[in-house]
Amino acid sequence: MPEYLEVAFRSIFILLSLFCITKLLGKKQLSKLSFFEYITGITVGSLAGTLSMDLQLPLSEGLMSILIWFVFPFLFSYLSLKSIKFRRFAEGKPTVFIKDGELDDAALKKEKYSVDELLEQLRKKDVFRVSDVEFASLDTNGDLSVMLKKEKQPLVKEDVFQMLQIASPPQAVITDGEIDIEALKEVGFPKPWLMKEISNRHLTLDKIFLAQLDREGNLTFDLYNWTNTQ
């Protein structure tokens, strides 16, 4: 077989293989990547390019290498869904940069984030004063999440009928039926209080896909099978 036909055949075969692998990994891979996913993507792309052009490299050995690099992200994703502790280990936790309008310089240094970079990200969200921010955190995918102070947020219907309150970011206190004790401590509520609220709504942990709670005691549930309650 002529070399150019072999290169074309190998390239098409590898392209179809990568397409199938991407479909199996899911749509999450198309969004912001974690550190591990970023490294995996670069490596698999490099392997695929080399395998397409280097005719001295056996196709079977190259595909085996790509398969191994596919299995690990798939396994990591599966374990992350099943275990909060493993997800925290593999993906890390969001880092709080601003709380109650005050910068945490230690958190900035930890993430190697300069003040200028932070201000630039705030400006992209139409925020020009740090003092206007109630809460800002660097998420595990590298995005900056920002919550303005209540008085700086756009007026909504509830503000007309309710007294002005200090807003606080909700925490995911239950994920996949598992209680996150650290998240409960963050919002200042004990586990018995949460269990009582669950009982009052005639629910059990195994029915709850996600529960979010803020410091004001606002608790919302998302149940399995796309059934929601509040």
Q: How far apart are CA 70 and CA 45, in angstroms?
A: 12
Q: Pick 76 or 157 by higher pLDDT.
A: 76
Token pair recorded at residue 217: 């005691």
* pLDDT for 24: 67
Domain boundary among 126, 161, 196: 161
Query: What residue numbers bound the domain in which 57 lies?
Result: 3-88
How do residues 170-199 score in pLDDT, each as one tens digit? 888 998 888 988 889 888 899 999 999 999
- Answer yes or no: do 10 and 76 share one domain: yes
| Dmax (CA) of the chain | 78
pTM > 0.75: yes or no: no
**Mean pLDDT taken over the chain:** 79
Token pair recorded at residue 78: 């599966």
Q: Is 78 helix (H, G, I), strand (E, B) or coil?
A: helix
* pLDDT for 157: 61
How do residues 99-122 score in pLDDT, each as one tens digit? 888 888 888 888 888 888 888 999
- Answer yes or no: do 8 and 62 share one domain: yes
* pLDDT for 190: 92
Is residue 66 within 8 Å of residue 48, measured between CB atoms? yes
Read off the CATH number of the domain in which 202 is found: 3.30.240.20
Q: How many domains does the chain have?
A: 3
One-letter amino acid at 21 equals: I
For residue 175, tell me if it sits in a domain.
yes
Q: How far apart are CA 39 and CA 138, in angstroms?
A: 20
How do residues 139-167 score in pLDDT, each as one tens digit? 877 889 998 887 777 766 665 555 445 55
CB atoms within 10 A of CB 177: 14
Q: Residue 5 above 70 pLDDT? A: yes
- Answer yes or no: do 150 and 192 share one domain: no
For residue 166, tell me if it sits in a domain.
no
Give alpha helix (H) positions in the chain: 3-25, 35-53, 59-82, 84-91, 105-110, 115-124, 157-161, 181-187, 191-200
- Answer yes or no: do 99 and 83 share one domain: no
* pLDDT for 155: 65
For residue 113, tell me if it sits in a domain.
yes
